[in-house]
Amino acid sequence: MAGLPEVIGLLHRADWTRLSLSAEVRFEQDGDLARRRENAVRTESMRRMGFRPGSPGMPDVGQEPDAERDVYHRWRAALLIAPGRRYRLEYEGEHGGQADGSDGEQGWTLRPPAPAPLPPRDFEGGPGLPVPALFGSAGLLAGFTLDVGGPVTACGRDAIAVTARPRHGAVGSGTSLRPRACDRVELIVDAETGILLRREETFEGQVLTLTELTTVTMSPPEADDPVRFAPPAGSRPSPDDQEGSEPSGLGWEVVKNAVSLAAGSLGAWVRLAPHLPGHRPAAEGGLEAAMPRPEPGPLDPGDGPLPSDDLLGLLYRSGQYDGDDPQVRDAAVRRWTDTAPSLAQVAAPARAAGLGGVGYLYDAMAQKGTVTLTAGRLRVGGPDLYYLDYSSWQGRPEPIVIACDGEQHWQVRENVTLVGPARPMTGEFASMVGSSWLLGERLSGGAEITYHGRRGYHLRVTRGDGARPGGPSSFYPADAIVDAETGCLLRLIAYDGDAPAPATWWELDDVSAEPGGTADPAGFRPRIPPGTRVLEESGNPMVDVTAVWPGLTGTAARTAAEAFRRGTDAVSAARSFLDDLRGHR
């Protein structure tokens, strides 16, 4: 009988791109329940990022009832898969004539005039997945805890019953920013390939979605015919594969303008900070940074086999502070960032998406043209018990201290402190403490090494099938060293493709570890210097981020934010703010 380590390995190694199969697929979805679930996820995600629905300037981003969508949907399709990311999914019944597919290089979609609408897919698979609910199973490992049942038979194949529940009490998991708002997910895992033969998700005690393969044939002869996967007449490129597509809707507009304004503020700070009174120079104490030379060097493609089940289990358990496994309690943190590739990657798409502030930030950072170093100390007691004290920073105005005691969250800066409700630890160093997100990526290697006096395992990381990168960087490949005791990452280096120098480098050093369990909240409350201005978070980070900027930059930012808060058109407010910045360069 397969145990948890074997199931973790089976799900992680599942690779539909190597399979040859045909199957009948059955889909069901409660449209009304799906809309309510999505509203719950959006609300909780916003809360974890510091947004509070109903705050000044924050519109309601919940989806309104939709009579066409809010019904119980049932539909079927015929699926054909061949090695090399080739597939064809042809819908049947009232949805006949519609199809999705890929010839291995280009995804395509076929829709006749006035087709019967297909309900939106309710899963976070990346582009090019034929049935994300079933063929993106590795993503479950980061956001859920698994309970392995017994052996079962499905579609005439040996399989394993597994129950997945949203992961709680974990740092750095896939639920840190986007929670899995569901009760549980019942899975039937194919014992040979690791793909899911059946997936049933419940929410509020009711079935939300059901996706299953009702028949499966391995290596069918029709999979050898490349014509079956070629884009048919009348098809168009898949929206997932088209460059320039971007999110839309009211929620995206709120986020877009907040990001643009915040980035513009940051760009102004970068340009003006050296001339502001009381500025703390980054180069004090010999902190002028240079990107270190990796030792040991990064693994090459093909260096080493797939990781062992034991190593995958270590990643799965990392960051779980509600268990008995050793977890990081205290560590020195460091981050080196080469600003050029980091900002060049997003500058042009951001401008095209209307994020002018990001373009302004890129221009400001490009003028600096330096590698920046951030260093500090991190203490962790659980997902909402943490204390991150930056002893030095370069390149961007980090808070000096970010802390949470389970009830309140603080951002302590030099002259002002923001206080708000508790929220889970998120961000890049959370992804170092809890490394379960790596299970959604493609991993190779795993040789045992010693790094900074601690035993670890060396891995190469490439992009998985998720809709978005799982960790702190969008650059791949990455090189990771996993701590053998806690599963945290002692080192993570992200590369911009084949570039020889790192784009970003993170480290945890001088690590102390203890078993998970409760910690004293008092130890995670910051000492606020006398005379420091203390501000309550408004519930709108667009307003809050501008409240802490000093001098002329802060004045311009707050003017635009106030206009937005009072309901003035957000785009006009952001444009006015950026015009003010350009006038004061």
Q: What is the mean pLDDT of the chain?
A: 81
Task: Kindly write down the DSSP assignment for every residue of 5-65, as one continuous string.
Answer: HHHHHHHHH--GGG--EEEEEEEEEEHHHHHHHHHHHHHHHHHHTT--TTSTT----PPPP
Interval 490-498 mean pLDDT: 95
Render pLDDT for 381-435 as a digit per residue (tens, 0 to 9): 998 999 999 877 665 556 789 999 999 999 998 788 999 999 889 889 999 999 9
Cβ atoms of 95 and 102 closer than 8 Å: no
Q: What is the 3-state secondary structure (H, E, C) of 99-143?
A: EEEEECCCEEEECCCCCCCCCCCCCCECCCCCCHHHHCHHHHHHH
Name the CATH superfamily for 250-580: Lipoprotein localisation LolA/LolB/LppX (2.50.20.10)
Render pLDDT for 101-154 as a digit per residue (tens, 0 to 9): 999 999 999 998 888 777 666 555 556 789 989 998 887 898 899 999 999 999
Q: Which amino acid is at 446?
A: G
So what's the pLDDT on residue 70? 72
So what's the pLDDT on residue 287? 43
| 95 pLDDT more than 70 | yes
Beta strands in 195-314 (DSSP E): 196-203, 206-218, 236-237
Note the CATH number of domain 4-241. 2.50.20.10
Band of pLDDT at residue 221, cut at 50, 70 and 90 = very high
Phi, then psi, of 583 in degrees rounded to 5 = -75, -15
So what's the pLDDT on residue 252? 44
Q: Which helix (H) or strand (E) holds 269?
A: helix 250-272
Band of pLDDT at residue 555, cut at 50, 70 and 90 = low
Q: Which helix (H) or strand (E) holds 560?
A: helix 551-565
So what's the pLDDT on residue 80? 98
Render pLDDT for 141-196 as a digit per residue (tens, 0 to 9): 988 999 999 999 999 999 999 999 988 778 876 555 566 678 999 999 999 999 99
Ramachandran sector of residue 532 (left: φ over 0; alpha: ψ -120 to 50; beta: rest): beta
Distance CA 440, CA 438 (A): 5
- Nearest residue to 378 via CA among 444, 425, 311: 425
Distance of CA 560 to the CA centre of its chain: 29
With H, G, I as helix, E, B as strand and everything else as coil, classify residue 148. Answer: strand
171: exposed, middle or buried (C-beta count within 10 Å: 0-12, 13-18, 19+)? buried
So what's the pLDDT on residue 29? 92
Q: Give me 475's structure tokens.
A: 């650059």
Distance CA 11, CA 89 (A): 23
Distance CA 41, CA 201 (A): 15
Q: Where are the domains of the chain?
A: 4-241, 250-580
Pairing between β-strand 416-421 and β-strand 533-536 as defined by DSSP bridges: parallel
| 367 pLDDT more than 70 | no
Cβ atoms of 333 and 387 closer than 8 Å: no
- Nearest residue to 146 via CA among 322, 364, 376, 316: 316
| 288 pLDDT more than 70 | no
Cβ atoms of 89 and 131 closer than 8 Å: yes
Phi, then psi, of 224 in degrees rounded to 5 = -85, -5
Phi, then psi, of 130 in degrees rounded to 5 = -70, -45
So what's the pLDDT on residue 57? 55
Task: Kindly write down the DSSP assignment for every residue of 323-376, as one continuous string.
Answer: SSSEEEEEEEEEEEEEHHHHHHHHHHHHHHTT-HHHHHHHHHHHHH--EEEEEE
So what's the pLDDT on residue 259? 54
So what's the pLDDT on residue 322? 83
Q: Which helix (H) or strand (E) holds 524?
A: none
DSSP category for residue 500: S
250-580 has the same fold as 4-241: yes
Other CB atoms within 10 Å distance of the CB of residue 275: 9
Render pLDDT for 510-531 as a digit per residue (tens, 0 to 9): 999 998 777 899 999 999 888 8
Render pLDDT for 51-83 as a digit per residue (tens, 0 to 9): 776 666 555 656 667 666 678 889 999 999 999
Peptide bond into 237 cis (omega under 30): no
Tokens 């992961």 sit on residue:
167
pTM of the model: 0.82
